Structures are given as structure tokens and as C-alpha cells.
Structure 1
């Protein structure tokens, strides 16, 4: 099984005061604060990298973008599930640094400084509609969908060209705390997103 693929769910919480404008503007509109600071969590329900199984693993991310998302100069760090095998760890680093091309290949262009990658206990759990991400002492986050007129139906921005996925559930953070790489962020009550992901990329020789 060559190439790579990940199916699962992603949550993200940033410092925007209202729903992230990057989703519909595709990075052409600046974040509400003029810059973006964010953490994200990925739950891999099914996945592989060059034949190595990634299913059941979780990943945490810290992102910092100085202005318009599309202009690049991002800083990023990745926390890889400590349960990952060596091959899975290496594969996930290649995927989330953009080296593996495919869906996340834009990271290689947009991220100018990769702050680091390390193994960590990464817990991604659901409690009703709430999603909770805990990455050691680095990230403690919890997001939930914004309530709509019909409380049983989430507010979803559909059919976007957003790189993560076309349908984004509008959410808010009930907790959003980062203590990593000198960053101390508290984004409780700020913008959040929930997205079902279906990412993939080419075989290693094609990604070289």
C-alpha cells in the first residue's frame, strides 16, 4: 500500500473573536486580530503511510501565522501520539510538515519555521458533542458546536474550498490553553472549528 491517507476528524481553536474568516476567504481576509495563533488536534480513524498503519493515532499541532494565511511565514510544531511506531512517527512528521505532499503539501510552502516535533501523550476524546484534546502539559483544549435554531443540528459552512475539508462545523472553545515553545495562550470562548477529514498523498518516490 503506497502513498498515504488519513480519515478522521480535526478540531481547531484560534485567537479569532468570531468564526475564522480564513475558512470562506481562503486566507485572503486577515484573522480578526490581524494575526493567527492556534492549536489543533487530529484524530485518525483510518490511515496509513507507505503501508504503515496510522489508525487510532492522534496528533496535536501548534500554529502561528503573522498575517494573511495565504502569505505564509507560518511557524508550526507537531506532537505525535506516543503510541506511534517509529515508522508511523516518521510518516506523520512527513505528512504534517508537508514533505509527503498531497493534501498537506502546502505546509512545505507556507511554514517557514518548523519549531519542532516530539512524541507526547495525545488524547482526543468525545463527550456528547464536545471534543477534548489534551497533549501532555502543552495543550488543553475543548470545543463544542455553536448552538443553532435547531439544537439537534449543527451550524455547518458547506461546500467551501478550505484545504482541510469542504464542510466546517462552526464551534467555540470552552477551553483553549497552550503552553509550548515559549507560547502562553488562552483562547477560551474564541473561534473553533470541527472538520471531518479525508486527506491523501502520493507514494514516497513521487513526493521526493
Structure 2
């Protein structure tokens, strides 16, 4: 019997590509800045349920490493869920990030060649206006700052109608901190030139 679920909250992302990541404007068919793309997407669920399980307050991060052209597949991936999550919440996240969850992230499943599993660690997630950050001690330390719009006061420049699984509309941002070290995916760049995004997310699906 399928489990109906829905979650909403805030997301941020930084990757190893220079701003703007070629994946976004090419539907994952243009080469990355390097011979790879290493990225972490962090999520702070503000409300939602997975069947009878409340998902409010759950935080998690999805790490990926792809070849230069992401659409070629064989992606390495892994997930870290905040240590405060219950067993039921962790199982729900495992479903939501997979094809079985029937949600937006299911589009990535055919491209993943090596899923490294799910781990638990304390996760800090903060959003203050156009600045969003995530930290997992010794594992992930990222901060992105949105690029101000010149025509909409208080808003960031955004790109719309993308094929991104989190939200088709993404705020453009610069990664002011960009450190990753999880599942064999390692990156450390303080140049403040690498790509970042943030956006709200509002997902739903039926998990098998």
C-alpha cells in the first residue's frame, strides 16, 4: 500500500563549479567547470508528514559527485540526516530521496551508480535573508549569499523553469564557504567564486 507524503521548507546548495553552474542552463548536458561536479544540497523541513510520521524539524543533506557531464550518470551519492531524527523519520528520508518515494528527487535515481547509504550527524541549518548556511562538524561547511537584484528591492537574481529537482526557480548565489568531506566526496574552496543556490521547496508524492 502506497504511503502519501508531503514536506516543505528551505533548501541550499553549493557545488564545485564556478558561478553559474553549467548544469543549470544546459539541463545537465554541458561539462562542469572541472572534470567532475561535487555538490551538497541541504534541506530544513519546516512542516510535513510521511504517512503518520511527522517530518517537521528534520534536516538532511544529499551529497553527490558526478562526471563532467552530469547526464552521463554513474553518480556517487550519500545522505546524512540530523542526529535528532527518529528511526521512522530516517526511513522516510531514505524513501523520499529514492525512486520509491515518487517525489521530485526520483528523477536523479537513474543517474546514481553508487549510493553510499545514510548516516546520522548533528546538522546546523541557518537562513538569514539572502544568506543561508549549513554545517556538519568536520563534514560539511557551506554558506551561500544571494546576488542582489537591481530591479526588485530585497530580492535576489533568480533563474526559472529549470530542470532542478528541488525547485524549478532558484535564487542565484555565491558560495562564501564551500567545504565537503563525506562518502569519499571531498572539496574545499574559499575563493568565493563557486556556485550556490537557495530556494523554498514544497514536495509531495506516494511512496511504494
- When normalised by structure 2's length, the TM-score is 0.90
Q: Which residue does 1:163 correspond to in 2?
A: 165
Alignment of 1:1-208 (within 5 A): 2-150=3-151, 152-188=154-190, 189=192, 190-202=194-206, 204=207, 207=208
Aligned-residue Cα RMSD (Å) equals 1.9
> Alignment partner of 2:101: what SS?
coil
Q: Which moved more, 1:155-164 or 1:191-200?
A: 155-164
CA distance in 1, matches of 2:96, 2:63: 15
SS in 1 for 2:24: helix
Query: Which moved further from structure 2: 141-150 or 117-126?
Result: 141-150
CA contact (8 A) 2:130 2:156 kept: no
- Aligned-pair distance for 1:98? 3.1
Using the TM superposition, give the Cα deviation of residue 52 of structure 1 relative to its aligned residue in structure 2, in angstroms. Answer: 0.7
CA distance in 2, matches of 1:139, 1:184: 10
- 1:86-140 residue CA offsets vs partner (Å, 9 max, x unmatched): 1111010121233312211123211110122111101111234211101232101
> 3-state DSSP class of the match of 1:105?
helix
Deviations 1:47-98 (A, max 9, x none): 2212211111111121101132222111111100111111111010121233
Task: Report the secondary structure of 1:171's partner residue.
Answer: strand
Q: Which structure 2 segments of 5+ residues have no match?
A: none
> What is the alpha-carbon distance in structure 2 between the residues aligned to residue 120 and residue 83 of structure 1?
8
- Show CA shifts across 1:4-53 (max 9, x none): 22211211101111211222321122222242111121111112212211
* 8 Å contact from structure 2 (residues 4, 205) kept in 1: yes
What SS class does the counterpart of residue 160 from structure 1 fall into? Answer: coil
Q: Provide Cα deviations, 1:127-162, integer angstroms capped at 9, x if missing partner.
A: 342111012321011111023325622101123343
Kindly state the Cα deviation for residue 184 of structure 1 after the two structures are TM-superposed.
Answer: 3.0
Distance in structure 2 (CA, Å) of the matches to 1:101 and 1:5: 11
In structure 2, what is the Cα distance between the partners aligned to 1:128 and 1:167?
Answer: 17
Contact kept in structure 2, 1:99 and 1:108, CA below 8 Å: no
**Aligned partners of 1:104, 1:61: CA distance in 2, in Å?**
10
Does the 8 A contact of 1:79 with 1:135 survive in 2?
no
